[in-house]
Amino acid sequence: MERTLIVFKPDAVQRGIVGEILSRFERAGLKIVGAKMLNPDYKHYFEHYEGIGTLKTRKGDKIFEDQLASMQEGPVIAMVLEGVEAVEVVRKMVGPTEPKSAQPGTIRGDYAHVTYSAAASINRGVSNIIHASAEKDEAEQEIAHWFSDSELHDYQTVHERFTQPAPHKAKK
Q: Which is nearer to ligand TYD, 30 or 90 (CB)?
A: 90
Shortest reach from residue 70's CB to ligand TYD, in Å: 7
User: Shortest gap between Cβ of 149 and ligand TYD (angstroms)?
Assistant: 25
Q: Give the interface with ligand TYD as residue ranges (CB under 6 A).
A: 53, 55, 59, 63, 67, 97, 116, 119, 125-126, 128, 131, 134
Q: Is 48 a catalytic residue?
A: no
Cβ contact 127:70 at 8 Å? yes
Q: How far apart are CA 99 and CA 37, in angstroms?
A: 24
Shortest distance in whole angstroms from residue 110 CB to ligand TYD: 16
Q: Where are the alpha helices (DSSP H) in 1-155?
A: 10-15, 18-27, 42-46, 55-59, 61-71, 86-94, 107-111, 116-121, 136-146
Cβ proximity to ligand TYD: between 7 and 30 the closer is 7
- The distance of closest approach from Cβ of residue 39 to ligand TYD in the complex, given in angstroms and rounded to an integer, is 18
Residue tagged active-site, from 113, 131, 145, 153: 131
C-alpha of 133 from chain center: 6
Give first-to-last CA distance, the chain, whole Å.
Answer: 32
Cα Rg of the chain, angstroms = 17
**Of 29 and 51, which CB lies nearer to ligand TYD in the complex structure?**
51
Q: Measured from the CB atom, is 5 or 30 closer to ligand TYD? A: 5
Q: Return all residues near 69 (Cβ < 8 A) that are at least 6 apart.
A: 123, 124, 125
Catalytic annotation, residues: 131
